[in-house]
Amino acid sequence: MNTYKLTIEYDGTGFSGWQRQDDRPTIQGELEAVLSRILNQDIRIHGSGRTDAGVHAMGQVAHFRAETRLAPGQILKGVNSLMRHSIVLRDCVRAADDFHAQYQARSKEYRYYILNRPTPNAVGRNYCWHVNRPLDTDVMTRCSRYLEGCHDFKAFENTGSPRSSTVREVFSAGWIHKEDEMLVFSICASGFLKNMVRNIVGTLKDAGSGKLDTKTFGRILAGRDRSLAGATAPAKGLFLYRVEY
């Protein structure tokens, strides 16, 4: 049995997230079906983590084990020829026998896109959150600094996902200014809680709108109370950007 490491890009629009579901289209389910067909055996893949319905990825990582003489390049070409265009294998390589996409991940980077202008966009509307009122990015940047380091992020966690601890280490967090009024929030951490990034972005948007100041943001983080934080930002603006090992 060989172990293969996959790097996957996908448009999450129209999918019920990453995790396989019997009655709904998912990224994992689509990939497993195509790989099983190509390799003529039952394939189960294991991702670095789940993404919710509507969330996208530029660099999701997964692994699977199979007995085959096909080279990794042949597997990549076969999958991309049969897969719907919203899912693409960017890379397929042989990995160490004990490689595990989830348990050996050292960090993940997510990016969230906000279009901050009066009018919405027609092209790319499925890949960003349109906020029509001006946002104070200086305040949002100062709030982001509270996130860096090792903290209990219970204030930004939605219920419904099993976890042993709500403590995570954030290596970096901040805003990238793009052209055409596009703001990009980047956060890199050891791991993430359910809806953690979207809840953080929703709260940072409140700060940028003048609804709270930097000290209040810090108190929300320290308070460990989800009801004090902002609303969950829409899924369509979120991308799993990179996973490091």
8 A C-beta contact, residue 106 and residue 244: yes
Please check whether the two domains, 2-95 and 107-244, share a CATH topology.
Answer: yes
* pLDDT for 160: 66
Active site residue ranges = 52
What is the C-alpha separation between 31 and 148, in angstroms, rounded?
35
3-state secondary structure of 172: strand
* pLDDT for 178: 77
What is the C-alpha separation between 223 and 155, in angstroms, rounded?
7
* pLDDT for 117: 96
8 A C-beta contact, residue 205 and residue 131: yes
What is the C-alpha separation between 188 and 110, in angstroms, rounded?
6
CA distances from 223 to 74, 173, 219 (A): 52, 20, 6
Level-2 CATH architecture, domain 2-95: 2-Layer Sandwich (3.30)
Question: What topology is assigned to 107-244 in CATH?
Answer: Alpha-Beta Plaits (3.30.70)
Number of other residues whose CB lies within 10 A of the CB of residue 204: 29
* pLDDT for 162: 65
The contacts of residue 77 (CB under 8 Å, 6+ apart) are none
Q: Is the pTM of this model over 0.85?
A: yes
Q: What is the mean pLDDT of each run of 10 residues along the chain (245 residues)?
A: 97 96 95 98 97 97 97 98 95 98 98 97 97 96 98 91 86 88 97 96 98 97 96 98 98
Domain positions in the chain: 2-95, 107-244
Give the pair of three-digit tokens for residue 5: 């490491």
